[in-house]
């Protein structure tokens, strides 16, 4: 018994180490490329360094499994285990099928699958931690703090110009290796929207995606603390700290020139109020937003505003463009016509159309190179075929459609069911919250998971490293809290039964 108690005490101490390692990775991952660029090492070795966070998470996960298998720790059952195992089995089946049918690469298939699920281990680590309200609050505030730090860097880059940008400038190691292999033109390295900021990330688009979770957390926190908390005095404006964090994060999003993320961030108050149960206010706010949208849309038509209708997505990245024109262009017919021919709508047509319109509804396999080759073969029309060959590097931007190409309809549905189960857990946390931190976590997680599912139609969010790490960390917190809520409910019921 004494030995067992000592082992349990050691396990609790190690779990505290796990908690602090996760907090460290929350801070480190956004800064990773900036830190590594100062190391005088070849790209191949730097690529190995980028695997260290994943390896650390795997080692912690396998240690957790060892503790569970030796019965030194109870296993916390969640709602996604069966689905996740089914997804892995289906992916393994497709890897074998693609090797037999298309001579696909085993390494390529496993590597692509790893990119999608690499931080699921963090989910299980967080679920099995013993977390207090202070621990949960620290994780959420750390994410907000890192978002504010990146917003400060983006502000410095935006106003400081080239000298400041060169200090923080980093290049994608993946693209550099492709260029060295001759699979990518060196001219495309570092191509982004001219004038935009990319913080400590390789690209302004990835930088914008990083801000999604911090901005949801800070908006949720600010609205609740300022207007909805029972002890709030209904101030017209938040306090200066909250205003500072909001300004830094919002300006960081603005500086990326990423229109979709900017529009989502402005619509967040509607979602936050809705999930807090303030339905009438959220409806009125949505009506106000809709009115402003119509005024802007008709203003474009009446004043015949035409922001370079002949420019393409690629030229936007190479030419200096006024940010106002760049945002307003989103509401023009020319933008949507161009999108259907050379952007995400085009990739949706190629991915879903070719796979669902053929006998490959079950998927072409996780290996990206083989899948692209098969999609090119299945594409009808010389023009579409040539255009897809030129832009195939970005076809995963329409991610759910690309996922249908990789894992077919069954694999995509299983993965979406995993997301749905996490969403249900977040709603349950919000509905059964007894503490402020639980309520804030439930509401913000519900919005994060909802937007994660919707926005992945237009971005490869599930495979973006930092966004993926943050997402699975938040998901782990949700399930951890939900598990404690269930235990508390069971204890209350048992006490009632004993009293009778």
Q: What is the DSSP string of 276-323?
A: TT-HHHHHHHHHHHHHHHHHHHHHHHHTT----TT--HHHHHHS---H
Q: 3-class DSSP state for residue 170?
A: coil
With beta carbons less than 8 A apart as the criterion, state whether 179 and 185 touch.
yes
Query: Model's pTM, two decimal places?
Result: 0.87
C-alpha span between 216 and 238 (Å, rounded): 16
Q: Are 22 and 139 in contact (CB under 8 A)?
A: yes
pLDDT of residue 386: 73
Residue 322 has what pLDDT?
A: 53
Tell me the average confidence (pLDDT) per consecutive run of 10 residues in the chain, 500 residues long: 50 73 96 87 81 93 86 79 95 93 90 92 93 93 96 91 81 53 43 70 89 95 82 65 92 88 91 91 87 74 54 45 58 54 69 81 89 83 72 80 91 96 95 90 96 90 92 96 89 74
First to last CA, the chain: 35
Cα separation of 492 and 485, whole Å?
A: 11
Give the Å distances, CA to CA, from 236 to 223, 225, 239, 418: 11, 12, 10, 40
HSE-up of residue 132 (Cα within 13 Å, Cβ side): 4
Position 313 scores a pLDDT of 45
Residues 6+ apart with CB under 8 A from 294: none
**Helices 240-255, 204-223: crossing angle, 10 deg rounding:** 160
pLDDT, residue 340, reads: 46
State the DSSP string of 111-140.
HHHHHHHTTHHHHHHHHTS---HHHHHHHH
State both tokens at 209: 């995606």
Per residue in 313-337, pLDDT tens? 444 444 445 555 655 666 555 555 5
Burial class (CB in 10 A: 0-12, 13-18, 19+), 12: exposed
């Amino acid at each position: 018994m004494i030995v067992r108690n000592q082992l349990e005490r050691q396990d609790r101490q190690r779990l505290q180490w796990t908690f602090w390692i996760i907090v460290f990775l929350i801070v480190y991952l956004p800064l990773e490329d900036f830190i590594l660029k100062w190391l005088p090492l070849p790209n191949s070795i730097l690529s190995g360094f980028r695997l260290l966070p994943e390896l650390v998470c795997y080692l912690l996960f396998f240690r957790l499994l060892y503790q569970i298998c030796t019965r030194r720790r109870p296993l916390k059952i969640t709602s996604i285990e069966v689905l996740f195992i089914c997804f892995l089995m289906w992916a393994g089946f497709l890897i074998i099928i693609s090797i037999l049918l298309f001579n696909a690469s085993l390494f390529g298939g496993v590597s692509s699958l790893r990119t999608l699920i690499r931080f699921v281990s963090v989910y299980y680590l967080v679920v099995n931690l013993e977390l207090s309200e202070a621990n949960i609050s620290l994780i959420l505030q750390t994410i907000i703090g890192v978002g504010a730090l990146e917003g400060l860097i983006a502000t410095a880059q935006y106003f400081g110009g080239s000298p400041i940008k060169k200090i923080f400038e980093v290049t994608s190691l993946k693209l550099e290796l492709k260029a060295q292999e001759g699979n990518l033109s060196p001219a495309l390295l570092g191509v982004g929207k001219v004038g935009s900021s990319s913080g400590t990330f390789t690209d302004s688009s990835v930088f914008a995606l990083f801000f999604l979770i911090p901005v949801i957390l800070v908006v949720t926190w600010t609205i609740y603390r300022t207007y909805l908390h029972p002890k709030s005095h209904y101030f017209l404006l938040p306090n200066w700290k909250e205003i500072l964090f909001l300004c830094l994060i919002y300006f960081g999003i603005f500086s990326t020139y990423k229109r979709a993320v900017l529009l989502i961030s402005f619509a967040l108050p509607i979602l936050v109020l809705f999930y807090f149960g303030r339905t009438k206010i959220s409806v009125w706010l949505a009506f106000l937003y809709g009115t402003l949208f119509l005024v802007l849309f008709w203003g474009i038509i009446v004043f015949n505003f035409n922001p370079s209708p002949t420019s393409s997505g690629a030229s936007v990245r190479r030419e200096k463009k006024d940010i106002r024109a760049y945002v307003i262009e989103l509401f023009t017919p020319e933008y949507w016509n161009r999108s259907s021919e050379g952007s995400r709508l085009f990739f949706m047509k190629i991915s879903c159309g070719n796979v669902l319109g053929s006998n490959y509804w079950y998927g072409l396999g996780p290996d990206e190179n083989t899948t692209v080759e098969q999609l090119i073969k299945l594409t009808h029309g010389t023009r579409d075929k040539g255009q897809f060959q030129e832009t195939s590097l970005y076809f995963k931007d329409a991610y759910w459609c690309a996922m249908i190409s990789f894992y077919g309809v069954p694999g995509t549905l299983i993965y979406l069911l995993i997301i749905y189960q996490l969403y249900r857990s977040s709603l349950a946390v919000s509905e059964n919250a007894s503490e402020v931190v639980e309520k804030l976590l439930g509401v913000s997680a519900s919005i994060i998971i909802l937007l994660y599912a919707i926005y992945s139609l237009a971005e490869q969010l599930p495979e973006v490293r930092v966004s993926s790490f943050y997402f699975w960390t938040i998901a782990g917190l949700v399930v951890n809290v939900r598990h404690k809520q269930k235990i508390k409910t069971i204890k209350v019921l048992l006490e009632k039964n004993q009293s009778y």
